[in-house]
Amino acid sequence: MPPWHSHSRREIANEFGIVCMCHGDSRLDNVAFDPSGDGVYRFDWQLSFKNIGPTDISYFLGGSLPVDLRREKEAELVRIYHDALCARGVTNLSFATCWDLYRLGHLYYLCYMTTGGTETDVENERSFELFQIASHRKFTAALDHNSVEIIDPSYAIAR
């Protein structure tokens, strides 16, 4: 269990200098790529909030990529993300800690899938299919990474 396992999200983000503006619904449907290859544009920001940066990439990779592709590419992509954070001034975040925070993010976003399921319009086929696919991918990612081992069990009960 990481030494920061009982910290709040805010404490973790401040400790490692990774307080980020997270998208909150970071998936391919909310991304556009410049055809020239020079830009990536994200839109649909109504769920944005300050959070631990690596959790946003958990949401994106865990929900947007097919399971086999995520498994194949995620270590490389999280490494690129970590390197970009370091290049922009984050100095006290090791890759191992970034990876653990990425793992934690998979667990964190399961709450979206759980609560979102109660609001999914099952009559809307696209919405229902999107929810089913994303749920499968996110639950599989959390299981693949045994994300639950990162949290302090005493925090499972509200204080």
Question: Does the pLDDT of residue 72 top 80, yes or no?
Answer: yes
Residue type, 82: H
Question: Does the pLDDT of residue 51 top 80, yes or no?
Answer: no
Tell whether 39 is covered by a domain. Answer: yes
What SS3 class is residue 34?
coil
Q: What is the pLDDT of residue 110?
A: 79
Q: What is the pLDDT of residue 148?
A: 83
Alpha helical stretches, state H, 23-157: 53-64, 67-87, 95-108, 110-117, 125-144
Q: Please report which confidence band the pLDDT of residue 18 belongs to, taking 50, 70 and 90 as the band edges.
A: low
Tell whether 158 is covered by a domain. Answer: no
Tell whether 159 is covered by a domain. Answer: no
Question: Does the pLDDT of residue 76 top 80, yes or no?
Answer: yes
Tell whether 78 is covered by a domain. Answer: yes
Q: How many other C-beta atoms lie within 10 A of the C-beta of residue 39?
A: 9
Q: Please report which confidence band the pLDDT of residue 159 belongs to, taking 50, 70 and 90 as the band edges.
A: very low
Tell whether 32 is covered by a domain. Answer: yes
Question: Does the pLDDT of residue 45 top 80, yes or no?
Answer: no
Q: Please report which confidence band the pLDDT of residue 150 belongs to, taking 50, 70 and 90 as the band edges.
A: confident
Contact 41, 94 (CB under 8 A): no
- Give the residue from 25, 33, 4, 24 showing the smallest Cα distance to 16: 4
| Number of structural domains in the chain | 1
Range of the domain at 50: 9-151
Q: What is the pLDDT of residue 95?
A: 94
